[in-house]
Structure 1
Amino acid sequence: MKNRIDACFEKLKAENKKALVTFITAGDPDMDTTEKCVLEMYNNGSDIIEIGVPFSDPIAEGATIQKASLRSLSGGTNLDKIFDLVRKLRTQTDKPMLLMMYINTIFKFGTAKFFKLCKETQIDGVIVPDMPFEEREELEGEAEKNGIYTIFLVAPTSHERVKMIAEK
């Protein structure tokens, strides 16, 4: 089966369009609101949605996402609840969904268990901004085994590493 991300970009390319990728922190202010917002984003033109997994020390985020993460965590959001949310969303949409999160959350949850649940709930990809590119093997094996894309970010300071990262 082709990953929804590939299908989305192929369709947009054929139509000579760009992708609108939007972001929301899961559980801010609560899961019901997150569900409604995700569906509204899709209904209003979003092609792909990044669902942010809240983290207690979101150092790579700006103030707005930091505050959203802390509100979400104080409301009891965790990965199990996020996977439940994605299951509900999958009964209402077949558009690409990604999780954006920190690597420690995956390690604490269990890498194999995490990617197995990504597959079961039909998450298409995972963005882990604090994962050094050179250490990607720690996730890639389980991700690939389950058909989940690991998506890498390129920092402005990457310079000579940009080509290597972009090729992957």
Structure 2
Amino acid sequence: MENQLNQKSKIISSFELLNDQGRIALMPFLMAGDPDLETSRKVLLKLQDAGADIIELGIPYSDPLADGPVIQAAASRALASGTTISRVLDMLSDLRCELEIPIVLFTYSNPLLNVGMDCFCDRAAEAGVSGLVVPDLPLEEAEKLSPLASDRGIDLVLLVAPTTPKERMKTISRKSKGFTYLVSVTGVTGERTNMESRVELLVHQLKSSSLSPVAVGFGISGPEQIKQVREWGADGAIVGSALVKRIANAQKGLEVQAAGNFCAELRRAADEK
């Protein structure tokens, strides 16, 4: 445990390497178990091959308050296919030797607390998980979870919204581990045609006060938004609904190819000078 505390996290190491290369982190979001866990397994590896730097993996939940209709539908399909926390972690355990990039789990406080913070962190660490995002976890509860996760080599990533008061934003960003997750819009996840201009100011505010990199999510739908976020100085761009939609709309058997093609397109945009 002491060795884990003294080691630099896998997420921070990834951001530092990308920063040295002058690149932004491409961070696709995938709903585990949509349409089934075997497909998710293949998509994870395809995203890695297509240039993803960090993957955010959603654990399906029946009441996902922060998610828009696209990801809610994906969660429903995943639950219908029999996806559970335990099965997701078993899948990741099986992939430990193949997945080299950091995996950040996205879950809600209810399933986390049902399993138990200690037990969840133990299982996640055994599965090779590098980070954890719990969007509905109050800061006060996050302060209990963060050291439990850190003891096991897992970064608890905290979220900042456009409506977060400036002082609280500073507090959250300084307590966030791995990176600070900047929610670019007020409301739930989903594709947007244009990024709000105030996001640029929020990125600069966070960069001036945060001890960790800043990644922007919620509303990034394609290459143009990736370029915009990069120009604003963010360290990472999280793409969720747009990728989940492509997987859902793909012809049966072609989901993995659709995910890989879209990720490769985003990678080119992220690296374009």
Output one character per residue of 1:50-81: Cα deviation in whole Å (capped at 9) or x when no partner.
Answer: 00000001111010000000110111110110
CA RMSD of aligned residues (A): 1.1
Partner of 2:187: none
Partner of 1:45: 51
Q: Does residue 152 of structure 2 align to residue 146 of structure 1?
A: yes
Shift of 1:117: 1.0
Secondary structure at 1:72 match in 2: helix
Q: Does residue 185 of structure 2 align to residue 165 of structure 1?
A: no
Q: How does 1:36-115 map to 2 (within 5 A)?
A: 36-115=42-121
Q: Distance in 2 between matches of 1:137 and 1:166?
A: 13
Secondary structure at 2:42 match in 1: helix
Give unmatched runs, 5+ long, in structure 1: none
Q: Distance in 2 between matches of 1:3 and 1:141?
A: 14
Secondary structure at 1:50 match in 2: strand
Secondary structure at 1:20 match in 2: strand
Bigger Rg, which one: 2
Secondary structure at 1:70 match in 2: helix
Provide the identity percentage.
Answer: 39
Partner of 2:262: none
Q: Distance in 2 between matches of 1:109 and 1:137?
A: 18
> Which residue identity lines up with residue 153 of structure 1 in the other structure?
L
Output one character per residue of 1:4-36: Cα deviation in whole Å (capped at 9) or x when no partner.
Answer: 101101110110111001100000000010011
Q: Distance in 1 between matches of 2:174 and 2:71?
A: 29
Partner of 1:130: 136
> Which residue identity lines up with residue 139 of structure 1 in the other structure?
L
Comparing 122-131 with 156-165, which one deviates more in the overlay? 156-165
> Which residue identity lines up with residue 109 of structure 1 in the other structure?
V
Secondary structure at 1:90 match in 2: coil
TM-score by length of 2: 0.60
Q: Distance in 2 between matches of 1:73 and 1:148?
A: 25
Give the counterpart of 1:11 among 9, 14, 17: 17
Shift of 1:141: 2.9
Runs (4 or more) in structure 1 with deviation over 3 Å come to none
Secondary structure at 1:157 match in 2: coil
Partner of 2:40: 34
Shift of 1:91: 2.1
Comparing 117-126 with 131-140, which one deviates more in the overlay? 131-140
The structure showing larger relative contact order (alpha-carbon pairs under 8 Å, at least 6 residues apart) is: 2
